[in-house]
Amino acid sequence: MPISPSLFRRAYNRFQQIHIEASGWPLDSFSNRQSFAYGWEGYKNAIPDRAMAIMEPRRWTRATIGTGEILSRVIRAIELPGNNLLQWEGRQGPNSRVHLRLIDAQAEPAARRELETLLFELYKNGSASQQVFESMTAHCGKRYELLGYLFFIAAPDRFLPLRTRSFDKAFAELGVDLRTEGNCSWDNYSRFIAAVRDVQRCLQAEGFRDATLLDAHSFCWILARHKAGESESKAIAPASLQPFDGTLHRAAQSVRFTPKDDAEVRDMREEAQKRQASGQIAEEIALQAEKERLCKAGQSDLAGRVENVADRPGLGYDIKSFESDGSERFIEVKNITNGNRFFLSEGEWLNSRARQNYWFYLVSGVDTKRPRVTCLPAKDLKRSHLQPVQYLVRFDS
């Protein structure tokens, strides 16, 4: 399941508050070396290159396997100074070291050869595969920290290090149905990577267009390591539908236009991404409110059939729902952020005329703990209320 847009926005706002408290300003880029986020997590970017420089797998040959050199180099790549991606120091004594099986295998010829064969496949042949992962698990135990780290330095664009308890905390806050602690497996690890990729996409939607997979990893880590306050940890109650009780205005007359030659520079792509992210939150809030309406009417079966169809723009509406008698209700969601107004496409306007039961759900306060959903029957909207703000120009070439 994709990450809930509203839960992500809430976590994102908390992340920015953490950053403001530490740096004095909200984060603008994970690559900003002056930021708290970079100071906290920036070291990770260099770890794969540092590890590879120690291992030098390009120099390995088949004859190297079994000599102990490969294991020795991999152990040194784990025990990098400042490497906090796994607990290799053995803070509870030598036997607690996460890579103890690798250390012990140096003195056992059979185990040494088997592990070095696997490491040769992983680093020399670039075979970061399920088979290698599962074989490494058989030799090293279900040590997620170790396996995640070894795969991360092998292919940092595809894999990530993993400290299970911290990431399970972050996933719980984001509403991700995934538990990694005690579930070390290739399937679970693949789902972990997919979940962090979803976080990456959400960060990009919030305007961090250059956010990498490792940046998303850092975002989750910072969230998990900074406990939410009591008010932040409380669940937000779903919004209830309210009938539209305002007054629709007749379209205003065109005003005299004055060119503006000193307009400020704005990142329109970033603004469009943020509007899209907020629009997805509005759709989620409206969907929950609509399901609640049907449940209150004793139609929980119909509530279970309500669906968000916004990814099919040709339909001309965002949510397909039902009335208590089972007849269809078509809902177009509008995120109200800048005054009491909203925009319609021609397709939405024509749909609102052609369908018998078409509604506009006006969602405000998407970034607050008390969002509001107002339902406006499309039949109440007349052409006299429409003010043209765009024009279509056709031409022959």
Among 29-33, 192-196, 264-268, 335-339, the range scoring the smallest mean pLDDT is: 264-268
| Axis-axis angle for helices 144-154, 130-140 (nearest 10) | 140
- pLDDT per residue as tens digits for the range 346-371: 889 999 999 999 999 999 998 888 89
Q: Tell whether 394 is covered by a domain.
A: no
Tell me how many domains the chain contains: 2
Question: Which of 25, 1, 34, 15 minimizes the C-alpha distance to 203?
Answer: 15
CATH classification of the domain holding 355: 3.40.1350
* Residue 375 domain flag: yes
Query: Packing angle between helix 144-154 and helix 186-205, nearest 10 degrees?
Result: 60
Phi, psi of 312 (to 5 degrees): -120, 75
Query: Chain centroid to CA 348: how far?
Result: 30
Domain boundary among 161, 193, 225: 225
- The CA-based angle 239-229-171, given to 5 degrees, is 70
Q: Is residue 235 part of a domain?
A: no
Name the one residue in this structure whose structure tokens are 């030098």: 56
* 244: three-class secondary structure by DSSP: coil
What residue numbers bound the domain in which 319 lies?
Answer: 241-247+276-385
Secondary structure percentages of the chain, helix, strand, coil, to 5: 50, 10, 40
Residue 332, H or E segment: strand 328-336
Task: Tell me the pLDDT of the chain averaged across its residues.
Answer: 92
221: amino acid identity, one letter = W
Beta-carbon-side half-sphere exposure of residue 203 (alpha carbons within 13 Å): 25
What's the whole-number mean pLDDT along residues 382-392? 90
pLDDT tens digits, residue range 19-60?
999 999 999 999 999 999 999 999 999 999 999 999 999 999
Helix (H) or strand (E) holding 115: helix 109-119
d(CA 320, CA 322): 7
**Predicted pLDDT at 235:** 57
Say which residue, 108 or 260, is predicted with more confidence: 108
Q: What is the pTM for the complete model shown?
A: 0.83
pLDDT at 230: 59
- My answer on whether 192 and 99 are in the same domain is yes
Question: 109 in a domain, yes or no?
Answer: yes
Q: Which amino acid is at 61?
A: T
